[in-house]
Amino acid sequence: MIDLWYKGAVIYCLDVEVYMDGNGDGVGDFVGLIDRLDYIAGLGINCIWLMPFYPTPNRDNGYDITDYYNVDPRLGTLGDFVEFTRQASHRGLRVIVDLVVNHTSTDHPWFQAACKDKNSKYRDYYVWAEEKPENAEEGVIFPGYQESTWTYNEEAGAYYFHRFYDHQADLNVANPEVREEIYKVMGFWLQLGVSGFRVDAVPFLIELEGIKDTAEAKDPLLFLKEIRNFLSWRRGDAIVLAEVNEPMDKIADYFGDGDRMQLLFSFLGNQTLTLALAREEATPLIEGLKAQPVPPDVGQWAYFVRNHDELTLDKLSDAEQNEILQRFGQDKEQVWIYDRGIRRRFPPLVDNDPRRIRLAYSLMLTLPGTPVLFYGEEIGMGDDLSIEERNAIRTPMQWSDQPNGGFSTADSDKLVRSVINEEPYGYQQLNVIAQRRDPGSLLNWMERAIRMRKECPEFGWGQWEIIETDNPAVFAHRCEWRKGTVIALHNLSSQSCVVSLQLKDEDANCLTDVLEDQPYEGVEQGCHDIELEGYGYRWFRVGGVHL
Ligand code: NOJ
């Protein structure tokens, strides 16, 4: 029996290293995280996505792994991990973990062995060339920080392929032994209690760069199906949430007929949402959503406002990218990275305006898919642009106004990354405890909004459609599932309005507000004109609300 629990999930992504330090050494750890599980469950989250927590030299925030079967000793032990999954499950929280198998760290023993001995079985775990390929300067993912995709290794006497940084050597997935290793890794963590994986860099995982001429190279999409089969055999309700930022004519392949990846991040949705918010017009978002293929029955889009990387705008034109920077009042020099994105969290893009922040998260929670929150978004954390690259947005969680924001009792110069210290995002003002005490805080809003989202399963499960309006600033949509219908309206502009909606008669007959930015007069029967404050939003249930 297939279990589509992820259609009703609210996912929370966190990095153990910066979440909560349980032993006072300045680095977050599993003991600290276990202590915060009640907080996460209390927020209404029902699935945690853990960013990489494996042994690593940490040159790409843990996406450079040296051992797939262990926990980074700075973060704890396998015992702590199992205690964590058990405690999470007691609170009804599922756990998914990052599966980073496009590449290993060049410090991984497999790569080391491959370099040392041409005849080692590990040689063929990676992708090699005797001569530097002509296209070595093309397709770099981190321009400005990565020069090439092929780097010479003295000891190996050959060039190895790396789609990402030069310390992340790509695995050769055409090699059946490598595939076996990947299944073993998946099986290991499934056995320890996880409900699936966020799979890193999927299009690169299956690319045949450097290996297309080998006898074993076969239809790369078949591998996705094999991954899915393996997962289902081992654990029927386990999922893959895939990182796939591909053009729309290729993306449906990643869902297949529902036999490949179940969840795909909606990068297009994210970018068109950002453009819509910047422009204060619904059209880009409407077009973005319509351009995406409809997922198969078991498939689902995952929506986010910000993730742990740069806010990539690669699907937009240069003019649109510049428009976003300009409308959000950003200094390109400081914030633009990899020729495609913004290394900032969301609140600093909108001047920390609580109305615009809530508007964005209200959209995320109602878009037809599964919402994914990045830790700290629930309290509106900011960023620190003095920290290099994407780490600007990966500062420690701000729990309280205590030293180091309550993240750690270590001396502040021992912290894995410094805590934000300056107004208005500094931990002295912006922290969990302060927001708990304030009924009007973002944290309390988020908790309410998540609760309502869960009470409106139609947003995650339903068939959806755009509702036509007479106001280009208003995004209006309707989701229907089983016998329920919900409607959400979002006014992207600062101007209040009365929007006229092309509602079906049966919908207009009874709209009951379930979440809104401020108290409104109820909507009268048969009425198609609805009031919205500037940056206002209203979620309605069609028919009465029964509890
Ligand atoms: C995608 C991850 O989200 C990013 O943080 C990482 O740098 C690359 N993959 C390489 O693993």
Q: In what order do the strands lie in the sheet with 474-481?
A: 463-466, 474-481, 484-491, 537-542, 511-516
To the nearest 10°, report the CA torsion of 436, 441, 447, 452. 150
3-state SS, residue 465:
strand
The answer, yes or no, to whether residue 416 has pLDDT greater than 60, is: yes
Q: Cα of 62 to ligand 1 centre, how many Å?
A: 9
pTM for this structure? Answer: 0.98
DSSP state of 338: T
Strand-strand pairing, 239-242 and 341-342: unpaired
The reply to whether ligand 1 has any atom less than 6 angstroms from the CB of 171 is no
Q: Please say if the pLDDT value at position 18 is more than 50.
A: yes
Q: Quote the pLDDT of residue 500.
A: 97
Give the Å distance between the CA of 530 and the centre of ligand 1: 43
What is d(CA 537, CA 476) in angstroms, rounded to the nearest whole number? 10
pLDDT-derived band at 367 (thresholds 50, 70, 90) equals: very high
**92 backbone φψ class: left, alpha, beta (φ>0; ψ -120 to 50):** left
3-state DSSP assignment of residue 324: helix
Distance 169 CA to ligand 1 centre (A): 13
Tens digit of pLDDT for each residue in 431-442? 999 999 999 999
- pLDDT at residue 162 greater than cutoff 50: yes
Is residue 525 over pLDDT 60? Answer: yes
Tell me if 310 CB under 6 Å of ligand 1: no
Nearest protein Cα to ligand 1, atom 2: 200
The answer on pLDDT for 153 being more than 50 is yes
Among 225, 204, 207, 229, which residue's Cα sits nearest to residue 217?
A: 207
Between the CA of 145 and the centroid of ligand 1 the distance, in Å, is 14
Q: Are the C-beta atoms of 20 and 399 separated by less than 8 Å?
A: yes
Q: What is the mean pLDDT of residues 342-356?
A: 98
| Predicted pLDDT of residue 497 | 98
Ligand 1 neighbourhood includes 49 CB (under 6 angstroms): no
DSSP state of 418: P
Burial (Cβ within 10 Å: 0-12, 13-18, ≥19) of residue 376: buried
Q: Is the CB of 338 under 6 A from ligand 1?
A: no
What distance lies between CA 182 and its chain's CA centroid?
22
- Say if CB 370 and CB 7 are below 8 A apart: yes
Which residue owns the Cα nearest ligand 1 atom 4? 309
Active centre residues (catalytic): 200, 243
State the distance from the centre of ligand 1 to the C-alpha of 205, rounded, in angstroms.
12
What is the mean predicted confidence (pLDDT) over 163-177?
97
Atom of ligand 1 nearest to the CA of 103: 11
pLDDT of residue 360: 99
Residue range 227-252, pLDDT digits in tens: 999 999 999 999 999 999 999 999 99
Structure confidence at residue 214 (pLDDT): 80
pLDDT of amino acid 547: 65
Q: Is 218 a residue whose pLDDT tops 90?
A: no
Q: Kindly tell me if the per-residue pLDDT of 353 is higher than 60.
A: yes
**Farthest CA pair distance, the chain:** 78
Q: For position 2, what pLDDT does the model report?
A: 62
Q: Answer yes or no: is the C-beta of 100 below 6 A from any ligand 1 atom.
A: yes
**Quick check: 44 pLDDT over 90?**
yes
pLDDT in the model for residue 431: 98
- Ligand 1 centroid to Cα of residue 102, in Å, is 10
> Does residue 201 line the site of ligand 1, with CB under 6 A?
yes
pLDDT of the residue at 514:
97
Q: What pLDDT is recorded for position 82?
A: 98
- In angstroms, the CA 22 to CA 29 distance is 6
The number of residues in the chain equals 547
> Is the beta carbon of 475 within 6 A of some atom in ligand 1?
no
Residue 60 CB less than 6 A away from ligand 1: yes
Q: What is the pLDDT of residue 544?
A: 79
* DSSP one-letter string for 99-167: E--SEEETTSHHHHHHHH-TTSGGGGGB-EESS--TTTTSS-SSTTT---SEEEETTTTEEEE-SS-TT
What pLDDT, on the 0 to 100 scale, is given for residue 220? Answer: 87
Atom of ligand 1 at shortest distance to CA of 164? Answer: 10
Paired strand residues for 288: none
Nearby residues of 212 by Cβ (< 8 Å), 6 or more positions away: none
Q: Tell me, what's the pLDDT at 1? A: 40
pLDDT digit string, tens, across residues 444-478: 999 999 999 999 999 999 999 999 999 999 999 99
User: What are the structural domains of the chain?
Assistant: 5-100+176-451 (3.20.20.80), 109-170 (3.90.400.10), 461-542 (2.60.40.1180)
- The ligand 1 atom at the shortest distance from the C-alpha of residue 60 is 7
As a whole number, mean pLDDT of residues 424-429 equals: 98
Instruction: State the DSSP H helix or E strand holding residue 171, giving kind and residue range, or none if neither.
Output: none
Residue 70 φ/ψ, nearest 5 degrees? -150, 175
Q: Does residue 25 carry a pLDDT above 80?
A: yes
Cα(354) to centroid(ligand 1), Å: 30
Q: DSSP assignment, residue 467?
A: P
- Which residue is associated with the tokens 């420690």? 396
- The span from the CA of 50 to the CA of 95, in Å, is 7
Q: Whose CA is nearest to atom 3 of ligand 1?
A: 309
Residue 345 · residue 376 · CB < 8 Å = yes
CA nearest to 172, candidates 112, 100, 106, 123: 123
In a mutational test of the pocket of ligand 1, which residue from 49, 54, 59, 100 has the highest number of ligand atoms less than 8 Å from its CB? 100
Instruction: Determine the Cα–Cα distance for residues 426 and 348; give it in Å rounded to an integer.
Output: 13
Indicate which atom in ligand 1 lies nearest the CA of residue 63: 11
Q: Is the CB of 98 under 6 A from ligand 1?
A: no
Residue 518's Cβ-count burial label (10 Å; 0-12, 13-18, 19+) is exposed
Taking residue 200's Cβ as centre, other Cβ atoms within 10 Å add up to 19
Of 160, 62, 53, 145, nearest in space to 110 by CA: 160
Of 103, 73, 6, 14, the residue nearest 46 (C-alpha): 6
